[in-house]
Structure 1
Amino acid sequence: MNSKEIKKAVSVYYPALALDAVIGLETRTELDEILGWSVFLSFSASSAGGVAAFLKLPWPADNGVVRFLTVQHSLFLGIFLMTFSLWLVAMAIKSFYDSYYFYGLKTSFPEMGMANEKVLMTFESATILRSGISMNDITKAFIFSKLGSDSLRRLGLGGRDLTQFVSSRQFTVDFSEFSASLKVTNEFVVIGDIATSVVNCDDGFARFLAIHEVTIKDLVGSISWSERLERKFQLGKRFWGRDFLGRIKGLGKDWSYGGAFALEKFAHDITERELAELDGFEQENEFNLLEAVLARKGEANAILVAEEGAGAMDIIFALGTRINRGNVLPSLQHKRIFLFDSNAFVASFKDKMKFEETLLHILNQSISAGNVILVINDLPSFVENTKSIGSDLIALIDPFLSSSDFQVIAVANPSAFHRFLESDGKILHRFEKILIKDASEDSIVKMLEDNALIEESKSKIFFTYQSLAAIEEGARRYFGDSVTSDKALHLFSELVPSVLTKKKKVIVRQDVLAFISQKTGIPVGEIGVAERDKLLNLESILHKRIVGQDEAIKAISNSIRRARSDIENPERPLGSFLFLGPTGVGKTETTKALAAIFFGNEESIIRLDMSEYQSADSLNRLIGSFGDGKAGVLSSKLREQSYGILLLDEFEKTSLEVMNLFLQILDEGFFSDMTGKKVNTRNLIIIATSNAGSDLIRNLMSEGKGLQENKDKIVNEIINRGIFKPELLNRFDGVILFHPLSSEDLSKISSLMLKKLQKRLAEKGIDLIINEALHKVVVSAGTDQQFGARPMNRAIQEKIEQVIAKKMISGEARSGTRLELHEEDLV
């Protein structure tokens, strides 16, 4: 938009804005309160005096108050009439002012005005823009506007910092520059659009936000919260609106329908009370689908397929609320929604005949009533429970499902639906399946905002917007195996008592991250001094356990630093590497070293021998089998431990189907198990090891050629041999070549292995002296060009540990002994 267009759009609100310029809104509000109390007090005094004078009651002579009110009755009546007249004028001015606010909502509420009338901006936006034009400082106008200051306060900005920023500003943004940058994200300008443009134009304000770690996304989200609360408050004044009038029940509106007394014993009517808060309700698409299905003339039944906590019941509650308010399609008005307790119903009967008789009576009575919508939560469970007493639920209710006077809304989770219901033709014929997806990021944050307001009023604490956004992000990122909305609400409810015990009054993003880290063991949030030193020196720390293999060490260290700095792609695993090289060169040992140093211990490794997954059923064994209901090895392990290292040994030996599974895992950071539930792999480092190309690596090394210079040649040959597909190799963050170990490398490795033995013996009080004889026997007996350093372990066991064991048994070596072995001891 340009300056001319903005000024024209603002001019629509000039009468109300002019009123603000003459008498501010806060001043008018205070005057309204004063006049209101004046009217009330003068009316009370006038009424008391008038009643006393009219009845001529024998008041005690010493009651001066009564005598005064009686004598001054006319005076108080005059005051009342004058203040009441002024109050009426004030209310007229208030209504005049409010009418401009409601005018700005015509795009959102078409019934408020002509549908074809174009509204270019909301009233709040016009207020800020008008102020920005008059003072030639749009940034200052935004900061000191009511919603601007509210939103900044929600971001933890205010007080001294904000005042200092405003007073120290060196320049202001030219309004024409601001106008040119103003982008309208919707059909009309909202405050979020203004704030975004201000940040883009005002480098000082953008820098101020960056210093306080506030992103544009945070700013717009906080503004959206403030706007939503203001809109809700203002719409509460519209007593003439459809939302308000629709809540007033008509007389006898249910008289044309019958009762459902048998049903009421096992169900309750959710349309009788307001169960759903529609402000911020985000599942409109699913709601509209459900409403359209229920409005059919026949077979108007729906089954909502959703994970627990995904909002299926919220949609049903919203339907009940809108029926109560009269905001539904005409054919659904006056309907009554009954939530049926199927578990209690089945538990009430022991024999099949009585169960079926009662159920048929309920269904017949519901059809006679003519306005019943029956909700069955967890239909698969109801079906299975009825089978336990020998009854067929679907066969019983099937004749009733075609009636237009009776409808059923069933709820089922995806796994149970696929397993028990999807193969039943009657169900698919009578019910329309509606798939309920997890709530969007914005809707989850709105749910958290509503919960935060409730908790703030109870506990006298304050949530910044960033803290709520961090809860949503944490639920989605670190608890990806469950429904995000449900997990976010659980995180919120668990966080509150945690911060209350610390006597914190303001909840910030870091509090949430610290709680998530405590709950999951995943390091998130600020990096401490010790962790910072470890991250910056990770290569040298790893090299204390790993000899050579600089490329692998560097690649892994860089990946860990990116992940901990939170700058990697959050939709993929923390890192993924394919280690290629001969046996015994340190591929697995590198993984173990990383686990011990960064993740705390080697138990953080989830290890799979991929040579065990070559058969046709390998994929089912990993993700689960729908046919026999067995959980998969991979899905089960990752649900138990979602943070650490996934080590895939001998990856080249697995089946093509399994490789295709990991193609998705490496690209998207998740996979679906047999039931369709997502399994999160985004908090893992995935390392696959393979001997593929080992012969090429050995040949190049024997010819004195460098591996890195010939890396592409090796990888291309592996592809040509059909071992790995190019698209799979490209999904790894790095394909790392491990070179065969030199004599010098083997000597260093022997030293590391002997130190491990020395440490184990020290725990038993025996001081082992590592000398040249030990090195010599380990290197000579454990050197094998084909198997690398792997035979060294066997050499230590057979040549050294065996000798020490005999000495310990004989008593020659005991706690306190300083043990040194020579060549003659090791023969």
Structure 2
Amino acid sequence: MRVEPHALVKRLTPTATLLLEGAVGRANSSHCHEIVVEHLLAQLLEAEESDTALLAQRFGVERRRLLQGVERALRELRTGSAARPVFSESVFQWFEDAWLLASLHLGDSRIRSGVLFAQFILRRSRYTAEYFPELDAIPADELKRNLAEVLRPSAETVDVAPPEGGRPASAPTAAGGAEEGALKRFATSFTARVREGKIDPVFGRHREVGQLVDILSRRRKNNPLLVGEPGVGKTALVEGLAWAIVKGEVPDSLKNVEVLGLDIGLLQAGAGVRGEFENRLKAVIAEVKASAVPLVLFIDEAHTLIGAGGAAGGSDAANLLKPALARGELRTIAATTWSEYKKYFEKDAALERRFQPVKVEEPGEEDAVLMLRGLRATYEAAHGVIIRDEAITAAVRLSQRYITGRQLPDKAVDLLDTAAARVRIAQSTQPEALTALEARIAGVERERDARRRDLADGHSGDEAELKALETKLHALHDQVATLRGRWEEERASVAALQAARKALAEVPAGQEPGALRTAVDEAAAAVARVRGEEPLVHGDVDAEVVAQVVAGWTGIPVGKMRTDAMEAVLNLEQRLEARVRGQPAAVQKVAETLRIAQAGIRNPEAPIGVLLFVGPSGVGKTETALALADSLYGGERFMTTLNMSEFQEKHTVSRLIGSPPGYVGYGEGGLLTEAVRQRPYSVVLLDECEKADLEVMNLFYQVFDKGMLTDGEGRAVDFRNTVLILTSNLGSDVVMRMHERGATPSTEDVVAAIRPTLSQHFKPALLARMTIVPFFPVGQEVMKEIAGMKLAVLADRLRATHRIETTFAPELVDVLARRCTESETGARNVEHLLRGSLMPEVSRNLLQCLAGGRAPAHLHVGLTPEGGWHTHFTETRA
């Protein structure tokens, strides 16, 4: 009986396998049609300190000369093949003869490189037509008689030790190797892992498991295909089936079934030679059919089967499976996503009809909570912490609300797992706040030491700054000591609580716990008393820990951080009015809109707010958006600004959401969608929105209403945690006329007056989705306040950069305000006047002082009789 080629290859020692891989590479690089004996012979002769070297030395063969003859024969081979080379029949004949020599003559369990060379010497005319005179002088009898002795010193000897009992290894069978089956190599038993306790139990999927049982119980076409989005639990469903089989909760026809997961990646790994992948898959199918125990195969990412093997010049793997699938001989559970199902399975009708699709939907929040409650004991045992029920509910609710692009229950499980890990780490590791303080101390100490050295070396320096650094260091050390003491106290109280709980858990059933229950209650009260509002060590996994993990992942403040955000919204008017002067009605309208969102009574699917700021230029529309980003999210970096005047053509919509497939820029993302994906909790400013093309504005219907937008790559981007602000100058003339009549009109009257103008540009359906906020022109007194604020910013900048105190003449503010009210640009002109005339004057005189070796300490800014700027620097403080 002829031995299967791949079984012979498995019998090669690691050294011989490496040499064979080198022969394949040599043939491939030369574009040969076949891998012939000479390719491997050349590798054998080139190997130093090998079996071949020992044999050549023992029998006086000059390896270099023999190698030259082999390479000469290789140069005469036919080349030019674009496909991968295949093994010639003579190579496998050589392997089979070598196996007989190794097993029968030497008693080895493997084919070593020396046996290959010896077999070639003995029967070279059988494997090649080339003539090698260098081998004629080697007597065959002596070679066989002394072969074991010659090869014994080689390092390869350890790889060919006979199996236990000292008997020669039996030859591999035609089925492909009795010692290690294909299923053992390429599959994992789910049912065995369940019995070993290595698979978590599955909850809440009884209906889907029942569907699997129904389909698997068919006589023909008994192959379920699990279809669902990533993370909904397709693999867990198969694990649930394995649990049901182990517990006997299945019909009699499935009670003794083993569920095996076939690893397609492992099946493909190393199958570079044409036909190797197909041989492996055929061996798997044959073993499943021949198995005494009924088997069910599970193939995850089943779409990878379509086309698998074809790249190596063989048949499509799916085509090999189709006959067995149709006849019911190979019960298979496959899993794939909807996109891959449409892309691969629906296009192959013959394959699709052999499977019965089972839709695996994302579970609802209630079902997801039940699933996590079932897993709680597993994660408590893994992390050694207690997971409270409020943490499970929070994990599901917060992950569904704030983590987009993933599915329940996967994202909730990951969230709960991370929270449990964080609690466990905090109980044994120094908190991050303490580490950050110690890093600050190290940085300040380095700065202090550097300044000390400069002063000691005679360089100029400020001893006052050195004293300030010493004071700062003392304060930081005090903070570290306080924080460390608090951490150690919290950790000790948590350890006492855990010890009390452990003692209570060890009380035998039926025995009254008595004092142990009291000890647990007292320890829990001690933990609550010590930890305060911001604990460094958590005793249990609670909703606050879960919220902190969500905040770290997304940047969205939840939990206590959400409480801080509520306080920020309650005081939003005061925060905004500190930066935006003269717009009390607009500020109040903005604050009211955001308070509705923060209270949770708005449409949960819509963004936090969609605000349309209308009014003349320079009255504070953009400044309000910046102030919102700073007040709500902690900085102006949390604002994305898009100048909509750049989107006056229809095709520019691709710049916002990204180019579709096949167009330039595909895969780079859009300006709007990428910004929100990276910062889902931010302010988005669409400046001068009336200048954008109407088709571009139509893009925002779904954003304003549903809080979602699909980018050019088909990904859903979540806008539900953003504040969208649009600014426009439409209706400015109406606002200014109403303001000039005297008394300030109400916001409702202004909105009613400008709505016809807005409706001429924006469609009513789009306008209805926005909250219109009018901004009024700024008067003289307000302009004075704004000018004073801008001058204060300039003074702060000089103080921080050069330690210069700055004073301004009283009439300076009046002049700035008067010049701004005369301009149509409004308050924006203050910055223009300062940057265009005052700052150049200050910078020129300051640089002259510094170049002359003077260190000014005070600057006074006044006006010349002609109305220009007058700056005067002094070296003493005023």
Q: Tell me if TM exceeds 0.5.
A: yes
The 1:613–1:433 alpha-carbon spacing in structure 2 relative to 1, beyond 3 Å, is farther
Describe the SS at the equivalent of 1:352.
coil
Decide which moves more: 269-278 or 817-826.
269-278
User: Equivalents in 2 of 1:345, 1:475: separation in Å?
Assistant: 36
1:555 to 589, 610, 623: 589
User: Equivalents in 2 of 1:442, 1:743: separation in Å?
Assistant: 59
2:630 — aligned with what?
Answer: 596
1:404 — aligned with what?
Answer: 328
Describe the SS at the equivalent of 1:688.
strand
What CA deviation, in whole Å up to 9, does each residue of 1:376-408 have, x standing for no partner?
222345557756545644455455543322244
The 1:666–1:528 alpha-carbon spacing in structure 2 relative to 1, beyond 3 Å, is closer
Give the C-alpha shift of residue 658 in structure 1: 5.0
Describe the SS at the equivalent of 2:334.
strand
Aligned CA RMSD, in angstroms, stands at 3.8
What CA deviation, in whole Å up to 9, does each residue of 1:438-481 have, x standing for no partner?
22212222232233333445666544322321222221222233
Give the C-alpha shift of residue 546 in structure 1: 0.3
Number of equivalent positions: 567
2:228 to 283, 286, 306: 306
Give the C-alpha shift of residue 657 in structure 1: 5.7
Query: How do 1:601-612 and structure 2 match up within 5 A?
Result: 601-612=635-646
The 1:419–1:605 alpha-carbon spacing in structure 2 relative to 1, beyond 3 Å, is farther
User: Equivalents in 2 of 1:419, 1:766: separation in Å?
Assistant: 68
| Structure 1 unmatched runs, 5+ | 1-258
Letter in 2 for 1:349: A
2:241 counterpart of 1:319: yes
User: Equivalents in 2 of 1:648, 1:390: separation in Å?
Assistant: 55
2:859 — aligned with what?
Answer: 818
2:781 counterpart of 1:744: yes
User: Equivalents in 1 of 2:687, 2:592: separation in Å?
Assistant: 23
2:213 counterpart of 1:266: no
Give the C-alpha shift of residue 418 in structure 1: 5.6
Letter in 2 for 1:736: V
What fraction of aligned residue pairs are identical, expressed as a percent?
28
The 1:584–1:468 alpha-carbon spacing in structure 2 relative to 1, beyond 3 Å, is same
Letter in 1 for 2:391: S
Give the C-alpha shift of residue 610 in structure 1: 3.5
User: Equivalents in 2 of 1:565, 1:536: separation in Å?
Assistant: 10
What CA deviation, in whole Å up to 9, does each residue of 1:743-773 have, x standing for no partner?
3333332222222222222222233323345
Describe the SS at the equivalent of 2:611.
strand
2:389 counterpart of 1:348: no
User: Equivalents in 1 of 2:642, 2:352: separation in Å?
Assistant: 40
Query: How do 1:186-265 and structure 2 match up within 5 A?
Result: 261-265=181-185
The 1:360–1:458 alpha-carbon spacing in structure 2 relative to 1, beyond 3 Å, is closer
Query: How do 1:239-638 and structure 2 match up within 5 A?
Result: 261-272=181-192, 274=194, 281-294=203-216, 298-325=220-247, 327-328=249-250, 335-363=257-285, 365-366=287-288, 372-381=295-304, 383=306, 386=309, 389=312, 392-414=316-338, 428=352, 430-456=354-380, 461-500=385-424, 501=427, 503=494, 504-517=538-551, 520-526=554-560, 534-564=568-598, 568-618=602-652, 620-625=654-659, 627-628=661-662, 630=667, 632-633=669-670, 634-638=672-676
1:806 — aligned with what?
Answer: 844
2:842 counterpart of 1:788: no
Letter in 2 for 1:755: A
User: Equivalents in 1 of 2:422, 2:806: separation in Å?
Assistant: 50
User: Equivalents in 1 of 2:698, 2:180: separation in Å?
Assistant: 55
2:121 — aligned with what?
Answer: none
User: Equivalents in 1 of 2:348, 2:823: separation in Å?
Assistant: 62
User: Equivalents in 2 of 1:333, 1:530: separation in Å?
Assistant: 56
Give the C-alpha shift of residue 735 in structure 1: 1.8
What CA deviation, in whole Å up to 9, does each residue of 1:346-370 have, x standing for no partner?
1121123222333244345545669
What CA deviation, in whole Å up to 9, does each residue of 1:552-580 have, x standing for no partner?
32233334445555555544333332222
What CA deviation, in whole Å up to 9, does each residue of 1:250-295 have, x standing for no partner?
xxxxxxxxx9943342112324453798977223444455555555
2:104 — aligned with what?
Answer: none
Letter in 2 for 1:270: F
1:753 to 790, 794, 801: 790
1:689 — aligned with what?
Answer: 727
The 1:405–1:399 alpha-carbon spacing in structure 2 relative to 1, beyond 3 Å, is closer
What CA deviation, in whole Å up to 9, does each residue of 1:687-718 have, x standing for no partner?
22233333433444455583624344345414
The 1:458–1:290 alpha-carbon spacing in structure 2 relative to 1, beyond 3 Å, is closer
1:78 — aligned with what?
Answer: none
What CA deviation, in whole Å up to 9, does each residue of 1:716-749 have, x standing for no partner?
414641x3233333333x2211223333333332
User: Equivalents in 2 of 1:623, 1:529: separation in Å?
Assistant: 33
User: Equivalents in 2 of 1:403, 1:282: separation in Å?
Assistant: 32
The 1:715–1:438 alpha-carbon spacing in structure 2 relative to 1, beyond 3 Å, is farther
Give the C-alpha shift of residue 683 in structure 1: 2.3
2:572 counterpart of 1:648: no
The 1:380–1:742 alpha-carbon spacing in structure 2 relative to 1, beyond 3 Å, is farther
User: Equivalents in 2 of 1:559, 1:817: separation in Å?
Assistant: 46
Letter in 2 for 1:452: R
The 1:667–1:266 alpha-carbon spacing in structure 2 relative to 1, beyond 3 Å, is same
Letter in 2 for 1:800: L
The 1:693–1:415 alpha-carbon spacing in structure 2 relative to 1, beyond 3 Å, is farther
Letter in 2 for 1:274: V
8 Å CA contact retained: 2:667, 2:713? no
Describe the SS at the equivalent of 1:692.
coil
8 Å CA contact retained: 2:861, 2:869? no
The 1:664–1:333 alpha-carbon spacing in structure 2 relative to 1, beyond 3 Å, is farther
8 Å CA contact retained: 1:803, 1:826? yes
Describe the SS at the equivalent of 2:232.
coil
Give the C-alpha shift of residue 345 in structure 1: 1.5
User: Equivalents in 1 of 2:389, 2:203: separation in Å?
Assistant: 19
Give the C-alpha shift of residue 597 in structure 1: 2.5
User: Equivalents in 2 of 1:580, 1:745: separation in Å?
Assistant: 19
8 Å CA contact retained: 1:613, 1:655? yes
